[in-house]
């Protein structure tokens, strides 16, 4: 089970919007063994130890985290979404 976190400011809207969307997209591709959590940006440190992938919604994120990070903006704009989805799937399927 791969654990993914998406973070936005309030941990409410933007991150959950992406989380819902990604869940749906992955389900369409038959990938169900993932857990996606929408969290607040300030809580990333808290969550990263127990997570495998981080989807960021901030453009040019200055801070580096311990887990592989994917730019999640394409999931919101639709531009480059397929490509980003492939990237994400690759990370999920990696050992």
Partner 1 sequence: MQTLQSIVNYIINDLGSIVFMPMIMFIIGKIVRMKTKDAISAGLMLGVAFSCVNAASGLLSGVMSPTLKEFVNQTGINLNTLDVSVSIRAAMTWQWPYVFLIFPMQWGINFLMLLLNKTKTINVDMWNIHNKGFIALLVWHITGNVFVALGWVAVIIVIELIIGDTIQARVQELCGVPLVTVPHSELTLCAPMYAIDRYILRKIPGLDRKFDLTVLRQKIGFWSESHIIGFIVGTGLGLAARYPFAKALGIGVTLGSALVLLPMTARLFITALEPISEAAGEFMKKRFSNREVYIGLDWPILAGRNEKWVCDAILAPILILFAFITPGNRTIPMASIYVSAAMMTAAMIVTNANMIRMLILGVIFIPPSLLFATYVAPYITELATKMNAYEVLEGQYITGLGQESRILRWGIIMISEGKLLGWGILAFWLATFAIFIIGMRKETEKV
Residues engaged in binding partner 1 (CB under 8 A): 7-17, 19-21, 38-43, 45-46, 56-63, 73, 76-79
Nearer to partner 1, 32 or 60 (CB): 60
> Do residues 24 and 73 touch, judged by C-beta distance below 8 A?
no
8: annotated active-site residue: yes
Burial of 32 (0-12, 13-18, 19+ CB in 10 A): exposed
- Between 50 and 94, name the residue whose CB sits nearer to partner 1: 50
Among residues 8, 18, 26, 38, the one annotated as catalytic is 8
Contact 37, 4 (CB under 8 A): yes
Nearer of residues 35 and 43 to partner 1, judged by Cβ:
43
- CA–CA separation, 20 vs 60, rounded Å? 23
Distance of closest approach, residue 78 Cβ to partner 1, in angstroms: 6
Question: Which residues are catalytically annotated?
Answer: 8
């Amino acid at each position: 089970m791969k654990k993914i976190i998406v973070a936005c400011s309030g941990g409410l809207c933007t991150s959950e919007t992406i989380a819902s969307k990604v869940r749906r997209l992955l389900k369409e591709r038959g990938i169900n063994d993932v857990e996606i959590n929408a969290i607040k940006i300030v809580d990333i440190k808290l969550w990263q130890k127990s997570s495998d992938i981080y989807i960021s919604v901030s453009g040019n994120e200055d801070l580096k985290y311990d887990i592989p990070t994917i730019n999640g903006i394409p999931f919101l704009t639709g531009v480059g979404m397929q490509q980003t989805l492939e990237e994400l799937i690759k990370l999920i399927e990696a050992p």
